[in-house]
Amino acid sequence: MVERQMPRPSEIFELLHFKRPSLDLKKRRLESALTIEDLRRIAKRRTPAAAFDYTDGAAEGEISLRRARQAFKDVEFHPAILRDVSTVDTSTTIFGGPSALPFGIAPTGFTRLMQTEGEIAGAGAAGAAGIPFALSTLGTTSIEDVAAANPKSRNWFQLYVMRKREISYGLVERAAAAGFDTLLFTVDTPVAGARLRDSRNGFSIPPQLTARTILDAVPRPWWWVDFLTTPKLEFASLSSTGGTVGELLDSAMDPSISFEDLAVIREMWPGKLVVKGVQTVADAQHLTDHGVDGIILSNHGGRQLDRAPIPFHLLPEVVREVGHHTDVAIDTGIMHGADVVASLAMGARFTLIGRAYLYGLMAGGRAGVDRAVAILADQVVRTMKLLQVASVDELEPAHVTQLTRLRPRADRVQV
């Protein structure tokens, strides 16, 4: 029998601990977010539907995005034991330079649409964390302003080769003059993917005030105050800003892009040249033969060709074929630090985050991006310690099994 007694007031008081309430609503909001999914939920509450869906959505039935995220969930880790992981080193070298963490911020278009601080918040957060920041051709902050916001860390520029080649060439020259060290030559966007959420929302750049958007703005007045009281939302690198996203992309992109264009840009660019949007082993081999400094396995976050290859599933074979000759990085579907660690174990030298950073931006501007980076960094460190590896270089395929839900037919011709 357990002996019972009346509770003593002194013992009760010892259990009472009250936190001083914070009047900083943004700080409270962000501190409550423990995962990127938490930041996503906050972002959805605070952002008009059209802007949120532009970030959150993908092409057609959004199958590619779901598959990419599921691939990371279908990972089984194999931890070692009895290793000293009192400290772990998350630093790495990618495309000829350092990064304090094994992930960087991916290029995203129309970023000030999500939250008015836009690329400046992303570049500043990247600089503070010691990781690379990539600026998109379709960015809403200029090359020079990003360089000023992130003067001591690494800046990369993502290039679309456009119908008017002189525009692309001018951007290459400006990025080089501003000290950007890596050019991401993007090859998966000859035309715009069918992003149905955007079409259904009537989404355009800049946003149009309609009865629907006004009703959607009622519970989110802060977004519209920011939008209407800050500099006009427009592309920093393109003169055309009117129309739907698909119309803008189709008017700018060129479906005739070829290896000849790659050679021209290689001749112009003084830094590292990386090709982004590689989706087959054969193309990875071909690009390596052409002497590129790196490749990024990506299906554009599922925003272009739906049912495209899953980059994480493609990773081991690509690394096996070309990893000894060029740096292989990966994006699409990364929502957790464990996704980053799994990618490194399967041979990636680096990873890029897009939506994960934008959810933080929408949830709280620069502070929200800092929070997203901190969440992922904590998850990377914790996963590494639980795997009992002390540095990213110790990660290897033996630490991971890719569990497969989708298997190709036995008579499939390999490419």
Using the 8-state DSSP alphabet, how is residue 391 labeled? Answer: B
Phi, psi of 314 (to 5 degrees): -75, -25
Phi, psi of 90 (to 5 degrees): -95, 0
Instruction: List, in sequence order, every beta strand (DSSP E) within 270-310.
Output: 272-278, 294-297
Using the 8-state DSSP alphabet, how is residue 193 labeled? Answer: -
Q: For residues 310 and 67, is the Cβ–Cβ distance under 8 A?
A: yes
Using the 8-state DSSP alphabet, how is residue 22 labeled? Answer: P
Phi, psi of 256 (to 5 degrees): -90, 5
Q: Which secondary structure element, helix H or strand E, spans residue 372, and what is its range?
A: helix 355-387
- Distance from C-alpha of 187 to C-alpha of 307, rounded to nearest angstrom: 17
Burial per residue of 170-180, b for 16 or more beta-carbon CB atoms within 10 angstroms, e otherwise: ebbebbbebeb
Partners of 327 in beta bridges: 294
Q: For residues 54 and 110, is the Cβ–Cβ distance under 8 A?
A: yes
Per the annotation, the verdict on 399 as an active-site residue is no
Rounded to a whole number of angstroms, the CA Rg of the chain reads: 23
Choice among 300, 313, 324, 336 that is catalytic: 300
65: helix, strand or coil? helix
- Distance from C-alpha of 186 to C-alpha of 182, rounded to nearest angstrom: 12
Q: For residues 181 and 96, is the Cβ–Cβ distance under 8 A?
A: yes
Using the 8-state DSSP alphabet, how is residue 117 labeled? Answer: T
Partners of 401 in beta bridges: 76
Q: Judging by DSSP bridges, how do beta strands 327-330 and 294-297 pair with one another? A: parallel
Residue type, 379: Q
- Cβ-based neighbour number of residue 198 at 10 Å: 19
Cis peptide bond upstream of 151, omega within 30: no
Instruction: List, in sequence order, every beta strand (DSSP E) within 83-197.
Output: 92-94, 97-99, 103-105, 133-136, 155-159, 182-186
Q: For residues 316 and 347, is the Cβ–Cβ distance under 8 A?
A: yes
Q: What residues act catalytically? A: 300
